Structure 1
Protein backbone atom coordinates (compact mmCIF):
# COMPACT_ATOMS: atom_id res chain seq x y z
CA UNK A 1 0.00 0.00 0.00
CA UNK A 2 1.42 3.45 -0.90
CA UNK A 3 2.52 5.57 2.10
CA UNK A 4 -0.31 7.79 3.30
CA UNK A 5 -2.96 5.82 1.38
CA UNK A 6 -6.36 5.67 3.05
CA UNK A 7 -7.43 2.15 4.00
CA UNK A 8 -10.88 2.23 2.43
CA UNK A 9 -11.81 -0.02 -0.50
CA UNK A 10 -13.29 2.50 -2.92
CA UNK A 11 -13.42 3.90 -6.41
CA UNK A 12 -15.92 6.52 -7.56
CA UNK A 13 -17.78 7.90 -10.53
CA UNK A 14 -19.28 11.39 -10.57
CA UNK A 15 -22.18 11.16 -13.02
CA UNK A 16 -24.21 14.37 -13.39
CA UNK A 17 -27.85 14.47 -14.47
CA UNK A 18 -28.36 13.93 -18.18
CA UNK A 19 -32.09 13.67 -19.01
CA UNK A 20 -35.61 12.82 -17.87
CA UNK A 21 -37.90 10.23 -19.45
CA UNK A 22 -40.90 8.13 -18.33
CA UNK A 23 -38.87 5.06 -19.40
CA UNK A 24 -37.27 2.15 -17.54
CA UNK A 25 -35.15 -0.27 -19.62
CA UNK A 26 -34.87 -2.69 -16.67
CA UNK A 27 -38.46 -2.88 -15.36
CA UNK A 28 -40.41 -2.14 -18.57
CA UNK A 29 -37.93 -2.60 -21.43
CA UNK A 30 -39.15 -1.69 -24.90
CA UNK A 31 -42.08 0.37 -23.58
CA UNK A 32 -41.39 4.11 -24.03
CA UNK A 33 -43.55 6.10 -21.62
CA UNK A 34 -44.36 2.92 -19.70
CA UNK A 35 -42.99 4.12 -16.36
CA UNK A 36 -43.22 7.03 -13.96
CA UNK A 37 -40.78 9.87 -14.66
CA UNK A 38 -37.13 9.00 -14.11
CA UNK A 39 -34.06 11.19 -13.87
CA UNK A 40 -31.07 9.59 -15.62
CA UNK A 41 -27.38 9.97 -14.79
CA UNK A 42 -24.29 8.82 -16.66
CA UNK A 43 -25.05 7.34 -20.06
CA UNK A 44 -26.64 10.01 -22.26
CA UNK A 45 -28.49 7.56 -24.56
CA UNK A 46 -30.58 5.65 -22.01
CA UNK A 47 -34.19 5.07 -22.98
CA UNK A 48 -36.74 2.23 -22.95
CA UNK A 49 -34.79 0.30 -25.61
CA UNK A 50 -31.33 0.51 -24.04
CA UNK A 51 -29.25 -2.66 -23.81
CA UNK A 52 -25.57 -3.39 -23.23
CA UNK A 53 -24.68 -2.85 -26.89
CA UNK A 54 -26.36 0.56 -27.10
CA UNK A 55 -24.92 1.72 -23.78
CA UNK A 56 -21.38 0.75 -24.80
CA UNK A 57 -21.80 2.91 -27.93
CA UNK A 58 -23.24 5.84 -25.96
CA UNK A 59 -21.77 8.96 -24.43
CA UNK A 60 -21.62 9.74 -20.71
CA UNK A 61 -21.65 12.60 -18.22
CA UNK A 62 -19.52 10.50 -15.86
CA UNK A 63 -16.06 11.26 -14.65
CA UNK A 64 -14.31 8.93 -15.50
CA UNK A 65 -15.54 8.90 -19.10
CA UNK A 66 -14.83 5.15 -19.14
CA UNK A 67 -17.99 4.55 -17.08
CA UNK A 68 -20.76 4.10 -19.66
CA UNK A 69 -23.21 2.71 -17.08
CA UNK A 70 -26.68 4.11 -16.66
CA UNK A 71 -28.10 5.10 -13.29
CA UNK A 72 -31.65 6.38 -12.69
CA UNK A 73 -34.08 7.32 -9.93
CA UNK A 74 -37.68 8.58 -9.73
CA UNK A 75 -37.75 12.31 -10.39
CA UNK A 76 -38.09 14.54 -7.31
CA UNK A 77 -40.70 17.30 -7.44
CA UNK A 78 -41.03 20.39 -5.29
CA UNK A 79 -44.68 21.22 -5.79
CA UNK A 80 -45.05 20.51 -9.51
CA UNK A 81 -41.52 21.54 -10.44
CA UNK A 82 -38.96 18.81 -11.12
CA UNK A 83 -35.74 19.20 -9.14
CA UNK A 84 -32.54 17.52 -10.30
CA UNK A 85 -29.60 16.78 -8.02
CA UNK A 86 -26.50 18.94 -8.36
CA UNK A 87 -24.35 16.35 -6.56
CA UNK A 88 -24.36 12.86 -8.10
CA UNK A 89 -21.71 10.55 -6.72
CA UNK A 90 -21.65 6.80 -7.24
CA UNK A 91 -19.25 5.05 -4.87
CA UNK A 92 -18.04 1.51 -5.53
CA UNK A 93 -17.07 0.12 -2.14
CA UNK A 94 -15.61 -2.94 -0.51
CA UNK A 95 -17.87 -2.95 2.52
CA UNK A 96 -20.27 -5.14 4.40
CA UNK A 97 -18.06 -8.24 4.27
CA UNK A 98 -15.10 -9.10 6.49
CA UNK A 99 -11.69 -7.80 5.37
CA UNK A 100 -10.37 -11.24 4.52
CA UNK A 101 -13.32 -11.79 2.15
CA UNK A 102 -12.72 -8.47 0.38
CA UNK A 103 -9.77 -10.10 -1.40
CA UNK A 104 -12.28 -12.42 -3.13
CA UNK A 105 -14.30 -9.55 -4.64
CA UNK A 106 -15.09 -10.13 -8.30
CA UNK A 107 -15.83 -7.43 -10.88
CA UNK A 108 -19.45 -6.46 -11.46
CA UNK A 109 -20.33 -8.41 -14.62
CA UNK A 110 -20.99 -6.39 -17.79
CA UNK A 111 -24.74 -6.04 -18.32
CA UNK A 112 -25.67 -6.61 -14.66
CA UNK A 113 -28.94 -4.90 -13.79
CA UNK A 114 -29.94 -4.13 -10.21
CA UNK A 115 -32.85 -2.27 -8.62
CA UNK A 116 -32.50 -1.19 -4.98
CA UNK A 117 -35.24 0.27 -2.80
CA UNK A 118 -38.98 -0.25 -3.28
CA UNK A 119 -40.96 1.92 -5.70
CA UNK A 120 -44.21 0.36 -4.46
CA UNK A 121 -43.59 0.76 -0.71
CA UNK A 122 -46.75 1.81 1.15
CA UNK A 123 -44.90 2.67 4.35
CA UNK A 124 -41.28 3.12 5.45
CA UNK A 125 -40.55 -0.58 6.04
CA UNK A 126 -37.46 -2.79 5.61
CA UNK A 127 -37.93 -2.90 1.83
CA UNK A 128 -37.40 0.86 1.52
CA UNK A 129 -33.70 1.05 2.27
CA UNK A 130 -32.94 4.51 0.85
CA UNK A 131 -32.49 7.24 3.45
CA UNK A 132 -32.86 11.00 3.38
CA UNK A 133 -30.69 13.46 5.28
CA UNK A 134 -29.37 17.03 5.06
CA UNK A 135 -25.96 18.03 3.75
CA UNK A 136 -24.01 19.95 6.44
CA UNK A 137 -26.85 19.51 8.94
CA UNK A 138 -26.13 16.16 10.56
CA UNK A 139 -28.15 17.09 13.65
CA UNK A 140 -31.35 16.61 11.61
CA UNK A 141 -30.68 12.87 11.41
CA UNK A 142 -31.71 10.52 8.61
CA UNK A 143 -35.08 9.05 7.73
CA UNK A 144 -36.70 6.79 5.13
CA UNK A 145 -39.01 9.68 4.31
CA UNK A 146 -38.19 13.29 3.46
CA UNK A 147 -36.64 15.37 6.24
CA UNK A 148 -36.83 19.12 6.89
CA UNK A 149 -33.47 20.62 6.00
CA UNK A 150 -32.50 24.04 7.36
CA UNK A 151 -32.25 26.94 4.90
CA UNK A 152 -28.87 26.97 3.16
CA UNK A 153 -28.46 23.18 3.30
CA UNK A 154 -29.42 20.53 0.76
CA UNK A 155 -31.66 17.47 0.81
CA UNK A 156 -29.56 14.34 0.40
CA UNK A 157 -30.46 10.78 -0.60
CA UNK A 158 -28.29 7.72 0.15
CA UNK A 159 -28.95 4.27 -1.29
CA UNK A 160 -26.81 1.14 -0.98
CA UNK A 161 -27.25 -1.56 -3.60
CA UNK A 162 -26.91 -5.28 -2.74
CA UNK A 163 -23.48 -6.70 -3.54
CA UNK A 164 -23.76 -10.45 -3.26
CA UNK A 165 -24.47 -11.99 -6.67
CA UNK A 166 -25.78 -15.49 -7.47
CA UNK A 167 -22.97 -15.83 -10.01
CA UNK A 168 -25.14 -16.60 -13.02
CA UNK A 169 -28.02 -14.19 -13.70
CA UNK A 170 -27.54 -10.62 -14.96
CA UNK A 171 -31.16 -9.89 -14.02
CA UNK A 172 -34.19 -11.64 -12.49
CA UNK A 173 -37.96 -11.32 -12.81
CA UNK A 174 -38.19 -8.92 -9.84
CA UNK A 175 -34.77 -7.36 -10.70
CA UNK A 176 -33.65 -8.15 -7.16
CA UNK A 177 -33.55 -11.88 -6.42
CA UNK A 178 -30.30 -12.48 -8.36
CA UNK A 179 -28.68 -10.22 -5.75
CA UNK A 180 -28.55 -10.23 -1.95
CA UNK A 181 -27.21 -8.10 0.85
CA UNK A 182 -24.50 -9.70 3.02
CA UNK A 183 -25.45 -11.49 6.22
CA UNK A 184 -23.12 -11.33 9.26
CA UNK A 185 -20.18 -10.03 7.25
CA UNK A 186 -20.36 -12.61 4.47
CA UNK A 187 -22.35 -13.36 1.34
CA UNK A 188 -25.03 -16.07 1.76
CA UNK A 189 -24.52 -19.47 0.09
CA UNK A 190 -27.35 -18.69 -2.34
CA UNK A 191 -25.47 -15.58 -3.58
CA UNK A 192 -21.80 -16.52 -3.06
CA UNK A 193 -20.07 -13.98 -5.35
CA UNK A 194 -18.90 -10.75 -3.69
CA UNK A 195 -18.96 -7.73 -6.03
CA UNK A 196 -18.30 -4.07 -5.22
CA UNK A 197 -21.11 -2.33 -3.35
CA UNK A 198 -22.66 0.55 -5.26
CA UNK A 199 -23.63 3.49 -3.05
CA UNK A 200 -25.65 6.23 -4.72
CA UNK A 201 -25.45 9.68 -3.10
CA UNK A 202 -27.62 12.43 -4.58
CA UNK A 203 -27.76 16.01 -3.32
CA UNK A 204 -30.75 18.13 -4.27
CA UNK A 205 -30.65 21.96 -4.08
CA UNK A 206 -33.80 22.19 -1.94
CA UNK A 207 -34.57 22.59 1.76
CA UNK A 208 -37.47 23.45 4.04
CA UNK A 209 -40.89 21.89 4.55
CA UNK A 210 -40.86 18.26 3.34
CA UNK A 211 -44.62 18.38 2.71
CA UNK A 212 -43.94 20.10 -0.63
CA UNK A 213 -41.77 17.24 -1.91
CA UNK A 214 -42.82 14.10 -3.73
CA UNK A 215 -41.19 11.55 -5.97
CA UNK A 216 -42.60 10.43 -9.33
CA UNK A 217 -43.13 7.09 -7.53
CA UNK A 218 -44.84 8.63 -4.47
CA UNK A 219 -43.67 9.52 -0.92
CA UNK A 220 -40.01 9.76 0.06
CA UNK A 221 -39.91 6.13 1.24
CA UNK A 222 -40.55 4.95 -2.37
CA UNK A 223 -37.06 6.17 -3.34
CA UNK A 224 -35.29 3.55 -5.43
CA UNK A 225 -32.38 3.35 -7.79
CA UNK A 226 -31.72 1.43 -10.98
CA UNK A 227 -28.23 0.48 -12.17
CA UNK A 228 -27.34 -0.94 -15.59
CA UNK A 229 -23.65 -1.83 -15.60
CA UNK A 230 -21.79 -0.79 -18.75
CA UNK A 231 -18.25 -0.35 -17.41
CA UNK A 232 -15.89 -1.86 -19.99
CA UNK A 233 -14.80 -5.19 -18.50
CA UNK A 234 -11.04 -4.51 -18.34
CA UNK A 235 -11.67 -1.17 -16.63
CA UNK A 236 -13.94 -2.71 -13.96
CA UNK A 237 -11.46 -5.57 -13.43
CA UNK A 238 -8.57 -3.13 -12.95
CA UNK A 239 -10.41 -1.07 -10.37
CA UNK A 240 -11.46 -4.16 -8.40
CA UNK A 241 -7.87 -5.42 -8.49
CA UNK A 242 -6.20 -2.11 -7.57
CA UNK A 243 -8.77 -0.53 -5.21
CA UNK A 244 -11.25 -3.02 -3.74
CA UNK A 245 -9.27 -6.22 -3.11
CA UNK A 246 -6.25 -4.49 -1.48
CA UNK A 247 -8.59 -2.09 0.44
CA UNK A 248 -7.28 1.14 -1.09
CA UNK A 249 -9.11 4.43 -1.73
CA UNK A 250 -8.83 5.33 -5.41
CA UNK A 251 -9.74 8.49 -7.29
CA UNK A 252 -11.91 8.83 -10.39
CA UNK A 253 -9.06 7.54 -12.56
CA UNK A 254 -9.05 4.27 -10.58
CA UNK A 255 -5.62 4.77 -9.01
CA UNK A 256 -4.74 5.35 -5.33
Structure 2
Protein backbone atom coordinates (compact mmCIF):
# COMPACT_ATOMS: atom_id res chain seq x y z
CA UNK A 1 0.00 0.00 0.00
CA UNK A 2 1.37 3.36 -1.00
CA UNK A 3 2.62 5.47 1.88
CA UNK A 4 1.44 9.06 1.63
CA UNK A 5 2.80 12.32 2.98
CA UNK A 6 -0.21 14.44 3.85
CA UNK A 7 0.48 18.16 3.64
CA UNK A 8 -0.78 20.14 6.63
CA UNK A 9 -1.83 23.75 6.27
CA UNK A 10 -0.17 25.91 8.90
CA UNK A 11 -2.08 26.98 12.01
CA UNK A 12 -2.03 30.65 11.00
CA UNK A 13 -3.65 29.95 7.64
CA UNK A 14 -6.29 27.76 9.28
CA UNK A 15 -7.13 30.42 11.86
CA UNK A 16 -7.48 33.08 9.18
CA UNK A 17 -9.81 30.85 7.15
CA UNK A 18 -12.09 30.23 10.14
CA UNK A 19 -12.21 33.88 11.11
CA UNK A 20 -12.88 35.23 7.64
CA UNK A 21 -15.51 32.69 6.70
CA UNK A 22 -17.45 33.13 9.64
CA UNK A 23 -3.49 9.58 -19.98
CA UNK A 24 -4.39 11.92 -22.99
CA UNK A 25 -7.98 12.94 -22.79
CA UNK A 26 -10.33 14.63 -25.18
CA UNK A 27 -11.12 18.31 -24.78
CA UNK A 28 -14.44 20.08 -25.14
CA UNK A 29 -14.29 23.86 -24.50
CA UNK A 30 -16.82 25.33 -22.09
CA UNK A 31 -19.31 27.96 -23.05
CA UNK A 32 -19.93 31.11 -21.03
CA UNK A 33 -22.76 30.24 -18.70
CA UNK A 34 -25.41 32.90 -18.01
CA UNK A 35 -25.22 32.40 -14.24
CA UNK A 36 -23.33 30.31 -11.74
CA UNK A 37 -25.46 30.76 -8.65
CA UNK A 38 -26.04 27.02 -8.24
CA UNK A 39 -22.43 26.48 -7.15
CA UNK A 40 -22.21 26.30 -3.35
CA UNK A 41 -20.30 29.22 -1.84
CA UNK A 42 -18.33 29.55 1.36
CA UNK A 43 -19.17 27.29 4.30
CA UNK A 44 -20.11 28.72 7.68
CA UNK A 45 -17.63 29.16 10.52
CA UNK A 46 -18.44 25.85 12.22
CA UNK A 47 -18.00 23.87 9.03
CA UNK A 48 -14.81 25.76 8.17
CA UNK A 49 -13.36 24.74 11.52
CA UNK A 50 -14.48 21.12 11.02
CA UNK A 51 -12.79 21.01 7.62
CA UNK A 52 -9.59 22.48 9.05
CA UNK A 53 -9.62 20.00 11.93
CA UNK A 54 -9.64 17.09 9.47
CA UNK A 55 -6.42 18.17 7.76
CA UNK A 56 -3.77 15.59 8.54
CA UNK A 57 -6.24 13.11 10.08
CA UNK A 58 -5.37 9.63 8.83
CA UNK A 59 -8.02 7.03 8.15
CA UNK A 60 -8.05 4.25 10.74
CA UNK A 61 -9.72 1.99 8.20
CA UNK A 62 -9.96 2.37 4.46
CA UNK A 63 -10.36 0.88 1.02
CA UNK A 64 -9.09 2.40 -2.21
CA UNK A 65 -10.09 3.04 -5.80
CA UNK A 66 -7.47 3.81 -8.46
CA UNK A 67 -8.73 5.91 -11.38
CA UNK A 68 -7.45 8.04 -14.23
CA UNK A 69 -8.87 10.87 -16.31
CA UNK A 70 -11.54 9.68 -18.69
CA UNK A 71 -12.37 12.97 -20.41
CA UNK A 72 -12.51 16.74 -20.06
CA UNK A 73 -15.57 18.91 -20.77
CA UNK A 74 -17.51 22.01 -19.77
CA UNK A 75 -20.20 19.98 -18.03
CA UNK A 76 -21.47 19.54 -14.48
CA UNK A 77 -24.40 17.11 -14.10
CA UNK A 78 -24.95 18.14 -10.47
CA UNK A 79 -24.86 21.94 -10.75
CA UNK A 80 -26.02 22.30 -14.38
CA UNK A 81 -27.95 19.09 -15.19
CA UNK A 82 -28.83 18.77 -18.86
CA UNK A 83 -26.93 21.93 -19.85
CA UNK A 84 -24.06 20.85 -22.07
CA UNK A 85 -21.10 23.24 -22.19
CA UNK A 86 -22.48 25.64 -19.59
CA UNK A 87 -20.00 24.84 -16.81
CA UNK A 88 -16.34 25.72 -16.63
CA UNK A 89 -14.03 22.92 -17.72
CA UNK A 90 -13.85 19.87 -15.48
CA UNK A 91 -11.62 16.80 -15.44
CA UNK A 92 -13.72 13.63 -15.10
CA UNK A 93 -12.45 10.44 -13.47
CA UNK A 94 -13.90 6.97 -13.42
CA UNK A 95 -17.16 6.62 -15.29
CA UNK A 96 -16.46 7.13 -18.99
CA UNK A 97 -19.99 8.27 -19.83
CA UNK A 98 -20.28 11.25 -17.47
CA UNK A 99 -21.85 14.25 -19.20
CA UNK A 100 -24.27 17.05 -18.42
CA UNK A 101 -27.24 14.69 -18.45
CA UNK A 102 -25.79 11.87 -16.35
CA UNK A 103 -28.02 10.12 -13.83
CA UNK A 104 -27.49 7.18 -11.54
CA UNK A 105 -29.20 4.98 -14.13
CA UNK A 106 -26.98 6.14 -17.00
CA UNK A 107 -23.80 5.75 -14.94
CA UNK A 108 -24.76 2.19 -13.93
CA UNK A 109 -25.24 1.28 -17.61
CA UNK A 110 -21.77 2.55 -18.60
CA UNK A 111 -18.14 1.57 -17.91
CA UNK A 112 -15.33 2.93 -15.78
CA UNK A 113 -11.56 3.25 -15.93
CA UNK A 114 -11.35 2.78 -12.17
CA UNK A 115 -10.03 -0.28 -10.34
CA UNK A 116 -12.24 -1.90 -9.14
CA UNK A 117 -14.73 -1.86 -12.01
CA UNK A 118 -17.52 -2.25 -9.43
CA UNK A 119 -17.16 1.50 -8.83
CA UNK A 120 -19.12 3.15 -11.63
CA UNK A 121 -19.25 6.46 -9.76
CA UNK A 122 -18.46 9.79 -11.38
CA UNK A 123 -15.81 12.02 -9.82
CA UNK A 124 -14.72 15.38 -11.18
CA UNK A 125 -12.67 18.47 -10.34
CA UNK A 126 -11.76 21.64 -12.29
CA UNK A 127 -9.16 21.06 -14.99
CA UNK A 128 -5.61 22.13 -14.16
CA UNK A 129 -3.74 24.33 -16.65
CA UNK A 130 -0.04 25.08 -16.89
CA UNK A 131 0.87 28.08 -19.02
CA UNK A 132 -2.60 27.89 -20.56
CA UNK A 133 -2.43 24.21 -21.53
CA UNK A 134 -4.64 21.57 -19.86
CA UNK A 135 -2.84 18.95 -17.78
CA UNK A 136 -4.28 15.51 -17.08
CA UNK A 137 -3.48 14.03 -13.66
CA UNK A 138 -0.73 11.44 -13.47
CA UNK A 139 -2.73 9.46 -10.91
CA UNK A 140 -5.98 9.66 -8.99
CA UNK A 141 -6.55 7.64 -5.84
CA UNK A 142 -9.93 7.72 -4.13
CA UNK A 143 -9.75 6.70 -0.47
CA UNK A 144 -12.87 5.67 1.46
CA UNK A 145 -11.82 6.00 5.10
CA UNK A 146 -13.14 5.39 8.56
CA UNK A 147 -12.11 8.35 10.70
CA UNK A 148 -14.78 8.24 13.43
CA UNK A 149 -17.59 5.95 14.63
CA UNK A 150 -16.42 3.31 12.17
CA UNK A 151 -18.57 0.48 13.52
CA UNK A 152 -21.70 2.57 12.86
CA UNK A 153 -20.67 3.81 9.41
CA UNK A 154 -23.06 3.06 6.55
CA UNK A 155 -22.39 2.61 2.85
CA UNK A 156 -23.22 5.74 0.83
CA UNK A 157 -26.54 5.05 -0.94
CA UNK A 158 -26.67 4.79 -4.71
CA UNK A 159 -27.49 8.18 -6.18
CA UNK A 160 -25.95 10.21 -3.37
CA UNK A 161 -24.24 13.29 -4.78
CA UNK A 162 -22.57 16.36 -3.39
CA UNK A 163 -20.07 19.13 -4.07
CA UNK A 164 -17.11 20.07 -1.85
CA UNK A 165 -15.15 23.30 -1.98
CA UNK A 166 -15.91 26.85 -3.10
CA UNK A 167 -15.47 27.56 -6.81
CA UNK A 168 -16.51 31.18 -6.18
CA UNK A 169 -13.81 31.93 -3.58
CA UNK A 170 -12.08 35.28 -4.04
CA UNK A 171 -9.41 34.58 -1.43
CA UNK A 172 -7.80 31.48 0.11
CA UNK A 173 -9.68 32.09 3.35
CA UNK A 174 -13.01 31.49 1.60
CA UNK A 175 -12.22 27.87 0.71
CA UNK A 176 -10.73 25.79 3.53
CA UNK A 177 -11.15 22.65 1.41
CA UNK A 178 -8.47 23.69 -1.11
CA UNK A 179 -5.14 22.05 -0.26
CA UNK A 180 -2.11 21.91 -2.55
CA UNK A 181 1.28 20.39 -1.82
CA UNK A 182 4.33 18.89 -3.48
CA UNK A 183 5.04 15.17 -3.50
CA UNK A 184 8.10 15.28 -1.24
CA UNK A 185 7.38 18.15 1.11
CA UNK A 186 4.97 19.59 3.67
CA UNK A 187 3.16 21.79 4.73
CA UNK A 188 0.53 22.48 2.12
CA UNK A 189 -1.19 25.65 0.95
CA UNK A 190 -4.75 26.61 -0.08
CA UNK A 191 -3.27 28.09 -3.27
CA UNK A 192 -0.84 26.61 -5.77
CA UNK A 193 2.65 25.80 -4.57
CA UNK A 194 5.68 26.41 -6.78
CA UNK A 195 6.98 22.86 -6.50
CA UNK A 196 10.75 22.48 -6.98
CA UNK A 197 12.39 20.40 -9.67
CA UNK A 198 12.19 16.70 -8.91
CA UNK A 199 8.77 16.99 -7.25
CA UNK A 200 5.21 16.98 -8.58
CA UNK A 201 2.12 18.98 -7.70
CA UNK A 202 -0.57 17.16 -5.74
CA UNK A 203 -3.83 17.96 -4.03
CA UNK A 204 -5.99 16.33 -1.36
CA UNK A 205 -9.74 16.92 -1.19
CA UNK A 206 -11.75 15.62 1.78
CA UNK A 207 -15.50 15.02 1.62
CA UNK A 208 -17.98 15.14 4.56
CA UNK A 209 -18.96 12.14 6.67
CA UNK A 210 -22.38 12.98 8.15
CA UNK A 211 -25.55 12.53 6.06
CA UNK A 212 -29.12 13.52 6.90
CA UNK A 213 -30.25 9.97 6.01
CA UNK A 214 -33.03 11.16 3.66
CA UNK A 215 -31.89 13.36 0.79
CA UNK A 216 -29.58 12.31 -2.02
CA UNK A 217 -29.05 15.96 -2.96
CA UNK A 218 -30.01 19.44 -1.76
CA UNK A 219 -30.58 22.84 -3.35
CA UNK A 220 -26.97 23.93 -2.90
CA UNK A 221 -25.66 20.34 -3.29
CA UNK A 222 -24.16 20.49 0.20
CA UNK A 223 -26.71 20.89 3.00
CA UNK A 224 -27.68 17.20 3.08
CA UNK A 225 -24.13 16.28 4.18
CA UNK A 226 -21.89 18.00 6.73
CA UNK A 227 -18.39 17.61 8.10
CA UNK A 228 -18.00 15.84 11.40
CA UNK A 229 -17.34 18.27 14.26
CA UNK A 230 -16.76 15.98 17.25
CA UNK A 231 -19.85 14.00 16.34
CA UNK A 232 -22.51 13.77 13.67
CA UNK A 233 -25.32 16.19 14.61
CA UNK A 234 -28.90 15.07 15.12
CA UNK A 235 -29.82 16.69 11.81
CA UNK A 236 -27.23 14.51 10.01
CA UNK A 237 -27.01 11.32 12.09
CA UNK A 238 -25.80 8.82 9.48
CA UNK A 239 -22.03 8.23 9.53
CA UNK A 240 -20.40 7.77 6.12
CA UNK A 241 -16.83 6.83 5.28
CA UNK A 242 -14.73 9.85 4.39
CA UNK A 243 -14.12 10.08 0.67
CA UNK A 244 -10.69 11.60 -0.01
CA UNK A 245 -9.23 12.37 -3.44
CA UNK A 246 -5.46 12.32 -3.82
CA UNK A 247 -4.55 13.70 -7.24
CA UNK A 248 -0.97 13.94 -8.51
CA UNK A 249 -0.11 16.03 -11.56
CA UNK A 250 3.05 15.60 -13.70
CA UNK A 251 4.05 19.26 -13.34
CA UNK A 252 6.02 21.52 -11.02
CA UNK A 253 7.03 25.18 -10.97
CA UNK A 254 4.66 28.06 -11.73
CA UNK A 255 2.22 29.07 -14.46
CA UNK A 256 -0.69 27.13 -12.91
CA UNK A 257 -4.41 27.89 -13.06
CA UNK A 258 -7.80 26.14 -13.00
CA UNK A 259 -10.96 26.04 -15.01
CA UNK A 260 -13.30 28.42 -13.23
CA UNK A 261 -15.74 31.27 -13.35
CA UNK A 262 -14.99 34.99 -13.10
CA UNK A 263 -17.88 37.49 -13.04
CA UNK A 264 -20.22 34.86 -14.45
CA UNK A 265 -17.96 33.96 -17.37
CA UNK A 266 -16.10 30.66 -17.69
CA UNK A 267 -12.32 30.95 -17.76
CA UNK A 268 -9.21 28.79 -17.59
CA UNK A 269 -7.37 31.23 -15.30
CA UNK A 270 -8.95 30.60 -11.89
CA UNK A 271 -6.57 30.48 -8.88
CA UNK A 272 -5.79 27.36 -6.89
CA UNK A 273 -7.95 28.41 -3.94
CA UNK A 274 -11.10 27.88 -6.05
CA UNK A 275 -10.49 24.11 -6.16
CA UNK A 276 -13.56 21.93 -5.62
CA UNK A 277 -14.81 18.44 -6.37
CA UNK A 278 -18.01 16.56 -7.16
CA UNK A 279 -19.19 13.00 -6.55
CA UNK A 280 -22.11 10.94 -7.89
CA UNK A 281 -22.33 7.50 -6.30
CA UNK A 282 -22.94 4.63 -8.72
CA UNK A 283 -21.11 1.82 -6.91
CA UNK A 284 -22.39 -1.71 -7.23
CA UNK A 285 -24.30 -1.83 -3.95
CA UNK A 286 -23.21 -5.34 -2.97
CA UNK A 287 -19.52 -4.66 -3.61
CA UNK A 288 -19.64 -1.38 -1.72
CA UNK A 289 -21.32 -3.05 1.24
CA UNK A 290 -18.72 -5.85 1.19
CA UNK A 291 -15.99 -3.23 1.58
CA UNK A 292 -17.85 -1.58 4.44
CA UNK A 293 -18.14 -4.96 6.17
CA UNK A 294 -14.58 -6.11 5.43
CA UNK A 295 -12.73 -2.84 5.86
CA UNK A 296 -14.46 0.22 7.31
CA UNK A 297 -16.62 -1.24 10.08
CA UNK A 298 -13.98 -3.54 11.67
CA UNK A 299 -11.18 -0.96 11.39
CA UNK A 300 -9.07 -2.61 8.69
CA UNK A 301 -7.09 -1.17 5.79
CA UNK A 302 -7.82 -2.73 2.42
CA UNK A 303 -6.63 -2.33 -1.14
CA UNK A 304 -8.57 -1.91 -4.36
CA UNK A 305 -9.84 -5.50 -4.10
CA UNK A 306 -11.72 -4.74 -0.91
CA UNK A 307 -9.76 -7.27 1.14
CA UNK A 308 -7.59 -6.52 4.17
CA UNK A 309 -3.98 -5.84 3.19
Shorter-chain TM-score above 0.5: yes
Q: Which residue of 2 aligns with 1:88?
A: 140
- Structure 1 residue 236: deviation in Å? 1.1
SS in 2 for 1:53: helix
Q: Distance in 2 between matches of 1:42 and 1:94?
A: 22
Tell me the residue number matched to 1:120: 168
SS of aligned partner of 1:146: coil
| Residue 258 of structure 2 is aligned to residue 215 of structure 1 | yes
Runs of 4+ in structure 1 off by over 4 angstroms are none
* 1:128 and 1:223 in contact (8 A); partners too: no
**Structure 1 unpaired stretches of 5+:** 1-6
Partner of residue 92 from structure 2, selected from 40, 49, 68: 40
Instruction: Give, in whole Å, the separation in 2 of the partners of 1:137 and 1:197.
Output: 24
Match runs of 1:197-236 below 5 Å:
197-209=242-254, 212-217=255-260, 218-236=270-288
The count of corresponding residues between Structure 1 and Structure 2 is 241
Q: Give the Å deviation of 1:127.
A: 3.4
Q: CA deviation at 1:130?
A: 2.1
Residue 128 of structure 1: how far off its partner (Å): 3.5
Structure 2: how far apart are the matches of 1:224 and 1:69?
17
Which residue in 2 is equivalent to 1:29?
A: 81
- Map 1:40-79 to 2 at 5 A: 40-79=92-131
Partners of 1:188 and 1:144 in 2: how far apart?
27
Partner Cα distance (2:194, 2:131) in 1 = 15
Scaled by the length of structure 2, the TM-score of the pair is 0.76
User: Residue 142 of structure 1: which of 178, 184, 188 is its match?
Assistant: 188
Deviation at 1:215, TM superposition (A): 0.4
Consecutive unaligned residues in structure 2, runs of 5 or more: 1-58, 261-269
In the TM superposition, what are the counterparts of 1:100-249 in structure 2 within 5 Å? 101-125=149-173, 127-138=175-186, 141-184=187-230, 186-209=231-254, 212-217=255-260, 218-249=270-301
The offset of 1:126, in angstroms, is 5.0
CA distance in 2, matches of 1:126, 1:178: 21
Equivalence for 1:3: none
Tell me whether 73-82 or 117-126 shows the greater mean CA deviation: 117-126
